[in-house]
A and B are shown apart, each in its own frame.
Chain A
Amino acid sequence: MINNDREITVLVADDTDTDRLILETIVKKEGHRVISARDGVEAVEQFENSRPDIVLLDALMPNMDGFEAARRIKSLAGEELIPIIFLTSLTDTPSLVKCLEAGGDDFLSKPYNRVILQAKIKAFYRMRTMNRTMLNQRDQIVKHNEHFLQEQTVAKQVFDNITSGGDLNTSSLRYFLSPLAVFNGDVMVASSTPAGNFMVLLGDFTGHGLPAAIGAMPLATTFYGMVSKGFSMADILAEINGKLKSILPVGLFCCATMVEVNFRKSSIRIWNGGLPPAYIYRNSGTVEAMKSTHLPLGVLNNRDFKADPALLQLEYGDRLYLWSDGIHESRNADGDMFGEERLMATFASNTVRDQLFDDLLAQVKAFTGDVEKSDDLSLVELLMAPIDVAYKDRFEPAKAQSQLAEWSLSFEVKPSSFAIFDPLPLLLSVLLEVPGLRNHSGTLYTVISELYTNALEHGVLGLDSGLKNDPEGFDQYYQLRKERTKEITQGFIRISLTHKTSSDGGVLSVIVEDSGLGFDFNALELDRPKVEYSGRGLRLVSSLCDTLKIEPPGNLVKATYRWHSDD
């Protein structure tokens, strides 16, 4: 067998021995394998037994004619392509049509021509191979697709688990997103802040499918993690921007609008980076567009990124609408986009404000006339309402009770710990449990760390800060500090923190006392700038705190720090 691929098996079905003999010989000479049949019944049997690649079938045969045999063979072959060549000296068109209708692919007329038969066998075998390849590939695609859908479902579950940290059950929020929106690149996250504000972020990632969904994960985790800890909108935006910038490849980013609703003050902060304008629908009926004034998230380095939300005053009953470009860009059968005009017309024709959300969706769906196309639509409505309406069932202070509000704490560091222990992280983690103080962690860190360092270096270790006024003294200072820290066996530093809440914030008082001798604090003029290194710490603390008091003999410092929930 000198065949390139594999042996081709040819079924020859002819009731005339002479013709069959000629065909068998020609086919064998080409190096193919031959199976013979004398009538239609035998042909079908042989086909089932040997599964030949090509069938040569005489039209008129006893028992079962070629037409019926062809029909049965085609039906047995299923979707596999089994070329059937009719052997016939029939020349009238109706007979030829009958052959084709029975499933015949070609004809071979008598007298047989060896060259033509060989060419036909080759051509049809190529076609059969191609068809087989195509079927295999199709099956693979189907398999891949099933696999892909399964992966999407799993990914969707993971994403849902991440976003279940959210809190979409406020009566002020209505939204529409397709169940698999995350794979269209759309993502919406929403949660309430410890202060009782409500934060929403609607994002639209470039691209579709997995690449778009991947960015949604860090966005959601960052959002939920930071909102619940009381971080400011600017911090959250910057963090998400930085994360996306570092993980997403160039060209992949997230257009987003973020809103913080302050129900108590009836105000919103809004930041729009690349999404279509958000609309404020006022009680008066006016509509204001909040256009994008920033680049999308994940484009700029945090150095250049500006998270400066606009602050707007609203009234109870005013509504805010956010959407991804799915609504503007949804097309009807003619390819026209829904666009801003139709959007504005929907606002204008609205009579029942509660139904505007449904009106908008209905208009877009009626316009596209196809639910399939509505998959990309994402619509969010926020209603400004009194806080007890916004959070109906779970009255917000109940939530606040589980958090640290009024408390005090005293912490003493003993000699053996001076060298190895830094009390700052521990104290700071306690402070961060107070919702309102989270936004002030940087300042509080500076205050406590300055006071502690002063108490340690000047109080307990008795170092003179005057040493630090020239470079050699500077070195000496730190040499002494090292030695004395190692050797010290007596002394203490006591840090007391006391926190009280007020209606719009709270007061933290910090007292740092050391076992040292104190110092002449009257010589220290805290109001006047000073160029020397010594004394700079206290001046900084004084500028950051509301009050700063040093008790005689100078080994106890008391600072108070006031914070407001809307800072």
Chain B
Amino acid sequence: MSANNHIDHDTLATLQEVMEDDFQHLIETFISDSSQKMTDMQRALAAGLSDELRRAAHSFKGSSSNIGAGGLVALCKAIEDKAAVADLAGIEMQIVDLQQEFNLVKGQLDIYL
């Protein structure tokens, strides 16, 4: 995936077709959903709850995949995999990376709003 390709616009085009008038609502939902997931992950990490961290990452990965955000999917999967084996070392940096990627995706999604 190239650096400027944080979003698969073909996937979004298909979604737009399916969702019609609800498409904007979907994008808004994704953004608020994902912001919540970011918060959840940070909290889970702070409390050392690897299982909750894993679930949040898994869920974020799923919706990112639906929206065509391949970069987010890859980062979530890495966090999910580590959390699954309760290996929390270095995850903080990965969450920071994830937050940056999410910000970029949000920027790209702005054009659909």
- Given A18-B33, A111-B11, A111-B66, are A25 and B61 neighbors across the interface (CB < 8 Å)? no
Q: How many residues of A contact B (CB 8 A)?
A: 20
Residue B63 CB within 8 A of the other chain: yes
A111 to B66, CA, bound (A): 4
The listed residue with most A CB atoms (<10 A of its CB), out of B30, B34, B62, is: B62
Name 19 A/B residue pairs within 8 A (Cβ), A-sorted: A15-B59, A16-B33, A17-B32, A18-B26, A18-B33, A18-B63, A18-B67, A19-B63, A21-B22, A21-B29, A22-B15, A22-B66, A25-B18, A25-B26, A26-B18, A29-B18, A58-B62, A89-B58, A89-B62
In-complex Cβ contact of A110 among B30, B33, B62 (8 A): B62
Residue B68 CB within 8 A of the other chain: yes
Whether A25 lies near B22 (C-beta < 8 A) is yes
Given contacts A19-B62, A19-B63, A112-B66, 19 further A-B contacts (CB under 8 A): A16-B59, A17-B33, A18-B29, A18-B66, A18-B67, A21-B29, A22-B15, A22-B66, A25-B22, A29-B18, A60-B58, A89-B58, A89-B62, A110-B62, A110-B63, A110-B65, A110-B66, A111-B67, A111-B68
Residues of A with C-beta under 8 A to B59: 15-16, 60
Q: Which residue of A lies closest to B54 (CB)?
A: A60
Residues of B with C-beta under 8 A to A111: 11, 65-68
Q: Which residue of A lies closest to B19 (CB)?
A: A25
A114 to B59, CA, bound (A): 20
- Given A111-B11, A111-B68, A114-B18, are A21 and B26 neighbors across the interface (CB < 8 Å)? yes
A22 to B15, CA, bound (A): 8
Annotate B21-58 by CB proximity to A: 1 below 8 A, 0 otherwise. Answer: 01001100110111000000000000000000001001
Annotate A21-50 by CB proximity to B: 1 below 8 A, 0 otherwise. Answer: 110011001000000000000000000000
Residues of A with C-beta under 8 A to B11: 111
Using a CB–CB cutoff of 8 Å, the interface residues on chain B facing chain A are 11, 14-15, 18-19, 22, 25-26, 29-30, 32-34, 55, 58-59, 61-63, 65-68
Residues of B with C-beta under 8 A to A114: 14, 18
A90 to B55, CA, bound (A): 11
Q: Which residue of A lies closest to B14 (CB)?
A: A114
A111 to B10, CA, bound (A): 13
- Given A25-B19, A25-B22, A60-B59, are A89 and B33 neighbors across the interface (CB < 8 Å)? no
Q: Which residue of A lies closest to B59 (CB)?
A: A16
CB distance from A107 to the nearest CB of B (A): 13
Q: Which residue of A lies closest to B60 (CB)?
A: A16
CB distance from B46 to the nearest CB of A (A): 19
A89 to B18, CA, bound (A): 21
Closest 9 CB pairs of A and B: A18-B63, A18-B30, A110-B65, A111-B66, A110-B62, A111-B65, A16-B63, A17-B29, A89-B62
Residues of A with C-beta under 8 A to B26: 18, 21-22, 25
CB distance from A185 to the nearest CB of B (A): 67
Whether B25 lies near A21 (C-beta < 8 A) is yes
Q: Which residue of A lies closest to B63 (CB)?
A: A18
- Chain A 66-98 residues near chain B, CB threshold 8 A: 88-90
Using a CB–CB cutoff of 8 Å, the interface residues on chain A facing chain B are 15-19, 21-22, 25-26, 29, 58, 60, 62, 88-90, 110-112, 114
A18 to B33, CA, bound (A): 7
Whether A60 lies near B55 (C-beta < 8 A) is yes
A29 to B18, CA, bound (A): 8
- Given A17-B33, A60-B55, are A22 and B19 neighbors across the interface (CB < 8 Å)? yes
Whether B62 lies near A22 (C-beta < 8 A) is no
Residues of A with C-beta under 8 A to B66: 18-19, 22, 110-112
CB distance from A2 to the nearest CB of B (A): 18
Q: Which residue of B lies closest to A92 (CB)?
A: B84
CB distance from A50 to the nearest CB of B (A): 22
The listed residue with most B CB atoms (<10 A of its CB), out of A16, A19, A25, A112, is: A16
Residues of A with C-beta under 8 A to B14: 114
Residues of B with C-beta under 8 A to A88: 62
The listed residue with most B CB atoms (<10 A of its CB), out of A18, A21, A29, is: A18
Residues of B with C-beta under 8 A to A26: 18
Residues of A with C-beta under 8 A to B58: 60, 89-90
A89 to B73, CA, bound (A): 11
Residues of B with C-beta under 8 A to A22: 15, 18-19, 26, 66
A64 to B62, CA, bound (A): 18
A58 to B58, CA, bound (A): 11
Residues of A with C-beta under 8 A to B61: 89
Residues of B with C-beta under 8 A to A60: 55, 58-59
A15 to B29, CA, bound (A): 12
Residues of B with C-beta under 8 A to A21: 19, 22, 25-26, 29
Residues of B with C-beta under 8 A to A18: 26, 29-30, 33-34, 63, 66-67
Residues of A with C-beta under 8 A to B25: 21
Residues of B with C-beta under 8 A to A17: 29, 32-33
A15 to B59, CA, bound (A): 8
Whether B19 lies near A16 (C-beta < 8 A) is no
The listed residue with most A CB atoms (<10 A of its CB), out of B19, B26, B59, is: B59
